Amino acid sequence: MRRSQNILFALSHPAHLNFFKNMIREFSVDPEKNVFVSVLNRGKLPKIAKWELSEFNLPVFIVGRHRGTFLSIIFEANLLPLFTFMKLIVLKRIDVVISVGGFIPGFCMKVIFRRNLQFDDDPESGKNFFLERLTASQLFIPFYDGIFTKVTPIHTLKEWAYLSPKYFTPKRTTLLKYQLKEKEYIFLREVSTGSLNYMQQDENIILSISGSFPDSFGYVLSLENKSNRNLYPKNWIILEEPIEDIHSLIYYSKMVISSGDSMAREAAMLGVPAIYCGYRIMKANNIMIEKGLLFKVPKENVSSQLKELSKRKESDLEQQQFRNELLTEWVDINELIRKEINN
């Protein structure tokens, strides 16, 4: 009798949890599959993961640590977890690992000749991309036009796995908790610069330009590093993780201003104008820039872009139409994962 398939989802960022949550849910109720989840001890990720996955009754393992320093990233988040991943993979008899840029568990799977599927929307990152190609059984990259073997282009962005109308329906009732009115507030995202992706970026970009924001809007802030939360305007709503239905808060906002790329793309995919004031140049961002909903703007020009976008009068119907257009244009990445695992 064939044993159940053991699947490990290796998560190192809250965005990865959003990405894979639908497939974790689906596989967790499949009698032919055993699902395991590992999370990096990074900020609120363990707390968020345990809260988000509590309904599935799955084992969640903490593997590695990320303190936001260069040495912590190299040793605690990458080198030391190598041994923990190997032990977990062998003891739980993992058949396949699924991750975003998970070249450490990927390496462990490769040396014991087992499959690992990696996703990445940032091949511009250089060294990570090289290590992913080296360790992945298959590497999936949105709209990729290179010629490397084992790299498969996919006609979608990873955020569409949970923001597609097939999987996400915004709820106006979410606004009641924060006493917000539709399209009368701006959603803000301030990322920490304590990661390799953002170490070259200016710190506290949103904070540095907050004085230029007009008083005619309310402001809701998703703040990654809350150690300096008292420096932000007192009348702003600062969200506390885990946040219930954050994407409805984004959907009903007038616009999003983000120093991180992920949330800027999320907003654009929801049909909300998004100002990205971070430094990263990514093809994934360019896809939404070409759609006319994401604007990469240096911090000194954010105020003027905000004023320009505030004149827009998008309706809920227009947002729905835009998302339905993407639904017909883009593939269902969950279906891709399902086929890869079931085949």
For residue 334, pLDDT over 90 is answered with yes
Which residues are within 8 A (CB) of 322 and not within 5 positions of it... i.e. 6 or more apart?
271, 291, 293
For residue 209, pLDDT over 70 is answered with yes
pLDDT digits (tens, 9 = 90+) for 283-304: 999 999 999 999 999 999 999 9
CATH superfamily of 5-154: Glycogen Phosphorylase B; (3.40.50.2000)
For residue 1, pLDDT over 70 is answered with no
For residue 78, pLDDT over 90 is answered with no
For residue 180, pLDDT over 70 is answered with yes
If one compares 334 and 203, the residue with the highest pLDDT of the two is 334
Q: One-letter amino acid identity for 207?
A: L
SS (H, E, C) the chain: CCCCEEEEEEECCHHHHHHHHHHHHHHHCCCCEEEEEEEEEECCHHHHHHHHCHHHCCCEEEEEEECCCHHHHHHHHHHCHHHHHHHHHHHCCCCEEEEECCHHHHHHHHHCCCEEEEECCCHHHCHHHHHHHHHCCEEEEECCCCCCCCEEEECCCCCHHHHCCCCCCCCCCHHHHCCCCCCCEEEEEECCCCCCCCCCCCCCHHHHHHHHCCCCCEEEEEECCHHHHHHCCCCCEECCCCCCCHHHHHHCCCEEEECCHHHHHHHHHCCCCEEECCCCCCHHHHHHHHCCCEEECCHHHHHHHHHHHCCCCCCHHHHHHHHHHHHHHCCCHHHHHHHHHHC
pTM across the whole model? 0.92
The pLDDT mean for the chain works out to 93
Distance CA 96, CA 115 (A): 5
Confidence bin at 244 (pLDDT 50/70/90): confident
Span of 89-93, 177-181, 312-316, 326-330 with lowest mean pLDDT = 312-316
If one compares 202 and 216, the residue with the highest pLDDT of the two is 216
Domain with CATH 3.40.50.2000 in the chain: 5-154, 174-328
The whole-angstrom distance between residue 85's C-alpha and the CA centroid of its chain comes to: 22
Contact in structure between 293 and 321 (CB atoms under 8 Å): no
Query: In CATH terms, is domain 174-328 a member of 3.40.50.2000?
Result: yes
- Please tell me the predicted confidence (pLDDT) of residue 2: 64
Which residues are within 8 A (CB) of 16 and not within 5 positions of it... i.e. 6 or more apart?
99, 100
Per-residue pLDDT, averaged over 41-54, amounts to 90
CA dihedral 279, 225, 105, 160 (to 10 degrees): -60
Confidence bin at 307 (pLDDT 50/70/90): very high
Span of 41-45, 196-200, 259-263, 332-336 with lowest mean pLDDT = 196-200
Which of these, 37, 168, 174, lies nearest to 105 by C-alpha position?
A: 37
